[in-house]
Structure formats: structure tokens, C-alpha cells
Amino acid sequence: MKQLQGKRALVTGAASGIGRAIALELARQGTHLLVADRDQMGMAHTAEMLRELGVEVETFHYDAEQPQEIVELAQFAAALPDGIDILVNNAGITYRGPTDRMEPEHWERMLDVNLYAPIRLTHELMPTLFVRRDVHILNVCSVLGLVGLPKVCAYSTSKFGLVGFTESLRSEYGVQGIGVTAICPGLVRTNLFNASISNGHERQKDPPRWATTTPERVAKVAVKAIRKNRARVVMEPVGRLMCFSRRFMPGLLDFALHLGRRKMTERRLAYWQSYQVEHAAKPKIVHKHDSTTIRRVA
């Protein structure tokens, strides 16, 4: 898609972070916007910033966890006079912490928002997109959808699925002139790092600044990928190194992730033995971990 001026893009999760940055970068190219999010105040601020760049802006309040609201968003987009040329599936949530502390409902939310929502929205918009000559679908994935790391199991599961969905779409519809891209940033400076679980013994630390990038950088790369119809974009040296290691030196990466295995095994056994003793005399009830935090990231 070489010409972006005068096109219309739908960007989900546009109230802040990567979604807002992509919407602004598209607006600088003369692209009109439909921005969607559940954060109405943040979305209104994004819309104001976009209008200052001289483009037409529509907003839609929706919750990506609600299938019916996704259908309503697609219907609203399809009813616009100039339709939709670019779909950016960006809205998502994250969880960082031990997988054993995740409740089933947290898994459901993660998969609903990060995987099922973009699948549903894309499917609902196919009749609208596919009647247009020049269209593009951009799915904001993650390097953690290419390489699995500790304490992000649910997030990686959803993003691995989104990468597969993107690649399959491109394989099926690329020959028909439909552009499809998976952009896989590494660590981005958004509220992603605040969505963590505390184990009561250690404080979660933000990654070093040199290992992260900005939403604005992701947005520039994303818009370039739309222009050039790139299949997959892995951003930043750290992310590329992780993918290179997983592909060409999987044994080395696996070895690094298993350093200290014996010590950690003993700690795990000691913890769960004490846990069983502590809870043996208590009635078996369903309970939630108050320390679990799960938030939306854009």
C-alpha cells in the first residue's frame, strides 16, 4: 500500500501507547482514522491530537472482551461512507508473573482480548475490506509470540496464536492482493510493565532502558511495514537476537534458561510442600490471589 493519503484506518487500543502512536503516524501520512478503545477519556484525547493534524476522526467505545461489541464496531466501520482500508489490531492486555498464580478467568481474558478479539474483528470486517482494491491488515504481535520466556506464559500463548493467525491470513489472501503484516516489537515503554504480579518477596523491576523502545518508534516501523507490505517485522536488536538464538541456536537459549535448575527445583519442592501443609487443614474453597494485577495495554 504505497498511497496512505486519503485512506481510512481502524486502530484498536488507540487511547494510549502503541495504538495512539500508530494512529498519529498514520494521520501524519494523511490517513483518516476510526479509533476504538474502552478508555473513553484516553480515546477522546487521541482524537483531539489527530484532528490537530487535519484528518477526519471517528471514535467508537467498545470492550474487546465482549463479542457483541466487536460486531457492533465492525458494523459501525462498515457503515462509514468511505469504508475501511487499513485494520490495525492493537488492543491487548498482559500478565507478568508465575503461571501457577493465574486464575482460569485471567487466562480467558488474556485469550479473549489478545487473540479472539482480533480474529473476530478481522472476520467481521472481511466483507468490507475485501471489496476494496488496496487494503492492509496489521496485527500488533510481540517478540514473545516468537520466543517463549519465563513468567509470560499466557501472554506468549496469545501472541503465538496471533502470529500464526497473521501468517495464515497472508498465505491465504496475499495472492488476492490483501496486505497482512505481523509486527513483533520487543519491550516497549508503555504501561505494560505495570501489569505484574507480586509474590510478596521481590519487587518487579522495569527492564533497562537500553533494552526497550518507544511507541513512536514502533509506529514508524509499523507504517513503513504497511507501505512495503512486509510479512513480519521483528524490532530492535534484543528482539532480533532472541529470535536468531531460538532459530539457529535453540540449545544455547534453552541452556541459558535452565541455569540454576537444581537450586530452583529444591526451592520449588520446599515451597509446594509447605503450601500443602499450610492448606491441608483448611476447607477447600475457590479463592483469588489479591496480588494479581491484570491490565489493558495499548
Give the residue numbers marked as catalytic.
155
The answer to whether residues 213 and 235 touch, using CB atoms and an 8 Å cutoff, is yes
Number of alpha carbons in the 13 Å side-chain half-sphere of residue 56: 12
Number of alpha carbons in the 13 Å side-chain half-sphere of residue 292: 17
How many Cβ atoms sit within 10 Å of the Cβ of residue 124? 18
How many residues are recorded in the chain?
298
**Distances from the Cα of 8 to the Cαs of 26, 35, 55, in angstroms?**
9, 10, 10
The answer to whether residues 60 and 33 touch, using CB atoms and an 8 Å cutoff, is no
Strand pairing of 232-234 and 8-12? unpaired
Strand pairing of 295-297 and 212-213? unpaired
Which residues, 6+ apart, have CB-to-CB distance to 68 below 8 Å? Answer: none
Which residues, 6+ apart, have CB-to-CB distance to 137 below 8 Å? Answer: 86, 87, 89, 122, 129, 166, 169, 178, 179, 180, 181
The answer to whether residues 179 and 1 touch, using CB atoms and an 8 Å cutoff, is yes
**Distances from the Cα of 292 to the Cαs of 84, 112, 198, 230, in angstroms?**
38, 18, 7, 37
